[in-house]
Every structure is written in structure tokens, then in C-alpha cells.
Amino acid sequence: MNKRIMKLSLILPMLALLFGPSLRIMVLDTGSQQVFANTDVESDRATTPRRYILKDLGTLGGPRSGVGFFAKVLNNRGMVVGNADTSIPDPFAPNCLGPNCLVQHGFKWENGIRTDLGTLPGGSSSDANWINELGQITGRSQNGLIDPLAGIPETVAVLWQANGSIINLGTLGGNQGLAVGINDSGQVIGMSTNTIPDAFSLFDPRFATQTRAFLWELGVMRDLGTLGGPDAFAFYENERGQVVFPMTSTTEDKSSAA
């Protein structure tokens, strides 16, 4: 009997519990009273507790906002990325991207201003999950099409440039994709489906084809391969372009290894 043993198999169900229908993003910001221009006050800094201001980043008109777990959603410039509900019912219900079946969009928050990142042309929902120090953001967007194999909306990996423009990173031949990270050199990692049938596609069995890890750079998406099995999912990368595969399939029964 075919079976799958995945080290991270409990993560997705846990995320569904943690991202409840009314979750809101909160940020702790350092208070202005702790900004020191004079280095002579180092002794005071050591004895004075740092003060923080709790800020609600809000939504896009709906009840919920959230951020990706195990992702870089805050950079050193104070930019935050996440996902937020609008008040618009999802036209693809019950196959919704968010738990409330409302249209959701990725957003960027900076200096008190929340910017709706939007979607690809024709798309309804999107989400954003990673930001680098240059302000480039990765995620996914619906494109307005229905996956003919899965019967659900197609989502593809996207990159939002620092100026807000959105780039469709494409797929490896399939109908689904997700960008999960970008380093400061602009190298994007994530997952994409290809055209090879797979009844146990790693990210979602409904995808019906293999899930493969990719690295996208300068307009080219490259399949990073596996350890012998059909599926892989790239999760982490560093500034040298080295990539970690915590969910790579290795054998016929689709067990996995990092």
C-alpha cells in the first residue's frame, strides 16, 4: 500500500488552527524615546528597559489578517508583509484561498501605511509570505483560470518588485505554483507542479501532477530535482543561493527526508 511519511506533515493542519477566522496582525515597534543620537548615553541604555508600541496592522476591509509562519515577513527597514481579507465574497467558493471565503490579497505595511499588493490580471486572491532587504516580496496569485486537472483555481508563483509591480514567475509546466522566499540577490525559491501524473502530489493531492522545488533567477525557473522520488518543496535559502529541501520525496512509498 502506498503511503506518505512526512516530517512536516502536522504543520499544515496546525496552521489552519492558528489562522482563525478573525486573526489580526500585531507589531511591536520600538518607541521613539529609545532613539539615542549620543553614544555617551550607553550606560543609560543598559539600565533603561526598551519601550514598545503595539500596532494593529489592520485588514483590507474584512475580518482577518495574517502572516506566513517560518517565513521572513519583517525586514530590517521595518517593512511587514502578510495577507488580509477584503469584504468581497470569494467567487471560487468553496475552493477559497482564505479560511473566511473572502477575497484576500497580500499586503505590505511600512511606516503606518498598508499597501494592497493586488493580483495578476484576471486573478481574485493572492498572498505574500516573504520580503527581502530590498523590499522585494514573494507569494502566489490566482490568474483567473481553473486548473483542468484539479478543478480548483490556478495559483502561480509571483514576485512583487519594490515599486509594487507584479511578475508572474510561471510554472514548470503545470497549473499550480508558490514562491516562498527571495534573497537579496533576487533568487526566488518555491514549488511548482509539472506535467508528470502523480496521485500523491506533495503539496496538495488534488494537483494530480508532481510537485517540484524550483529556483527562479533572471527570468528563468529551474527544477532543483529530488533525492530519487517524484516530489520536492524548497523552503529555505541563504544569501549564497543554497537551498534546503525539508520535504523531498525519496522512495516509491513517498517517504521524505531533508
Taking only the tens place, the pLDDT of each residue in 223-256 is: 999 888 889 989 889 999 999 876 665 555 444 5
Torsional sign, CA 215, 208, 146, 67: negative
Q: Is the pLDDT reported for residue 12 higher than 60?
A: no
Per the model's pLDDT, the better-predicted residue between 43 and 140 turns out to be: 140
- Report the number of distinct structural domains present in the chain: 2
**Given this model, what pLDDT does residue 45 score?**
52
In three-state secondary structure terms, 238 is coil
Same domain, 166 and 237: yes
User: Residue 60: helix, strand or coil by DSSP?
Assistant: coil
Percent of the chain with pLDDT over 90: 61
Q: Are residues 20 and 35 in the same domain?
A: no
Give 7 or 56, the one with higher predicted confidence.
56
Question: Has residue 4 been placed in a domain?
Answer: no
- Output the pTM of the full model: 0.80
Query: What value does the mean pLDDT take over residues 185-204?
Result: 92
Alpha-carbon distance 249 to 30, whole Å? Answer: 43
Q: Is 240 exposed, middle or buried (0-12, 13-18, 19+ CB in 10 A)?
A: exposed
Q: Do residue 46 and residue 71 come from a single domain?
A: no
What's CA 253's distance to the chain center, in Å?
Answer: 28
Asked if 81 and 168 sit in the same domain, the reply is yes
Same domain, 252 and 207: yes
Specify if 146 maps to a domain: yes
The rounded percent of the chain whose pLDDT value lies above 70 is 76
Q: 43 lies in a domain?
A: yes
Residue 52 sits in the same domain as residue 69: no
* DSSP letter, residue 18: H
How many other CB atoms are there within 10 angstroms of residue 198's CB atom? 20
Residue given cell 509571483 in the structure block: 158
Whether residue 69 is found in the same domain as residue 121: yes
Rounded Cα gap, residues 247 and 212, in angstroms: 10
153 plus 165 within the same structural domain: yes
Say what the pLDDT of residue 248 is. 60
Contact of 230 with 195, CB cutoff 8 Å: no
Q: What is the pLDDT of residue 47?
A: 66
Do 129 and 181 belong together in one domain?
A: yes
Its domain, for residue 41, covers 26-58
Q: Residues 77, 188: one domain? A: yes
Bridge partners (DSSP) listed for residue 140: 127, 157
pLDDT of residue 249: 57
